Structure 1
Amino acid sequence: MKAKNIVFAGLFIALGALMPQVFHVLGGPGLGKMLLPMHLPVLIAGFMLNPPVALLVGILSPVCSFLYTGGSMPPVPTLYFMMIELGIYGFVASLCFEKYKLSIIVSLVLSMILGRVVHTCVFLFVTAVLGMTLPPALSIGAILGQSVPGIILQVVFIPPILYAMNKKGWLKRNDA
């Protein structure tokens, strides 16, 4: 792995661990659940790093946040689901953008959709295996519904950031 990739991976993991803290200080824990601040650096990392490194950024960001906060954010078992979802985000964004040469928007949206689908499937599988019945407030619809502002934030803010980074030559592809 190139030194540049290691440095950027470390930067994105640190941002992924620290950004939720800022959101929680500004608006309480509900703001973080609603705006999904940890997702932003992971998704951007997918456009700058190769797929395996972007996958690691997605997996390690929630782990580092968990360790930094003494195990309070994200709490177990949310931690495990976030590791899966964010790992998929980074990996798929990088794969779509780097290998398949898809546009920034298409790569971003596909990674977000696949991350959520995998998260949901794993969640449903685990609850079924454990024989859990969840109250309506914890249903998949409720979980997805509370994160709509964060999804909108990602779709609105990430592409302009990536286009600006592309102009500076910071992305893996300069034809984006």
Structure 2
Amino acid sequence: MNHSKIKNLVGTGLCIALGLVFPQLFHAIGAGTVFLPMHIPVILCGLCFGWEFGLVCGIITPLFSSILTGMPPLFPTCVAMMFELGAYGALAGLLYRKLNLNLYLALIVAMLGGRVVSGVASAIFYGIAGKAYGFQLFLTGAFVSALPGIILQIIVLPLLVLALEKARVIEKPIMLELQTEGIEG
């Protein structure tokens, strides 16, 4: 196994661990649901290590948290969160590391995409559980109540990624350059 893959696996493990610890710390001060503490390490994992690692981190973290702490409740909340956080991690890594989008744009698109996945998954799983879930609940949970967490993510995550890149803890994404050889205009 090469050095880069080992670094990605270790970094993903660290992000999973942070995804288990952060919610406990935030819930201890009554700020768990508004600051979205599990989202931060999952999105960070995708931005730093790529879509595959972000996807795995996003699926495993809420499941481990549910099993170890009872939060979130396994069904329907945890199952819906596994889809949501998996989407956050995968989209962040895909957009920033693979498609070379600007860091801020990749983050915002990943956050929006994850919320769409969350709405669909929640509608399905809450429906199966016989619990009410509609567009009003989706908007309130995904955007209104989550606004402090959204702001925190938009401020903190780019700063962390840029600091890790500058310190050479992680590599900057390789930018695609357009080849214009042989094109005369």
Gaps of 5+ in 1: none
* In 2: Cα distance, 1:162 partner to 1:18 partner: 20
Instruction: State whether residues 48 and 170 of structure 1, in contact with CA within 8 Å, keep that contact through their aligned partners in structure 2.
Output: no
Give the aligned residue type for 2:49: L
* In 2: Cα distance, 1:97 partner to 1:156 partner: 16
* In 2: Cα distance, 1:96 partner to 1:134 partner: 30
Q: Give the superposed CA RMSD.
A: 2.2
Residue by residue, what CA displacement relative to the aligned partner does 1:73-104 show, whole Å, maximum 9, x if unpaired? 11132111111111111101111111111111
* CA apart distance, 1:132: 5.0
TM-score, structure 1 length as denominator?
0.87
Q: Name the structure 2 match of 1:14.
A: 17
Residue by residue, what CA displacement relative to the aligned partner does 1:120-141 show, whole Å, maximum 9, x if unpaired? 02222345566654589x7212
Q: Name the structure 2 match of 1:78.
A: 77
* CA apart distance, 1:50: 2.5
Bigger relative CO (Cα 8 Å, ≥ 6 apart): 1
* CA apart distance, 1:34: 0.6
Q: Name the structure 2 match of 1:88.
A: 87
Q: Name the structure 2 match of 1:45.
A: 45
Aligned-pair identity in percent equals 37
- The alignment status of 1:4 with 2:2, answered yes or no, reads no
Matches within 5 A, 1:113-128: 113-127=112-126
Gaps of 5+ in 2: 176-185
* CA apart distance, 1:170: 2.8
Give the aligned residue type for 1:151: I
- The alignment status of 1:165 with 2:164, answered yes or no, reads yes
Structure 1 pair 133–16 and aligned structure 2 pair: CA distance change class (3 A): closer
Structure 1 pair 169–19 and aligned structure 2 pair: CA distance change class (3 A): same
Residue by residue, what CA displacement relative to the aligned partner does 1:107-166 show, whole Å, maximum 9, x if unpaired? 111110000011102222345566654589x72122122111111110111111111112
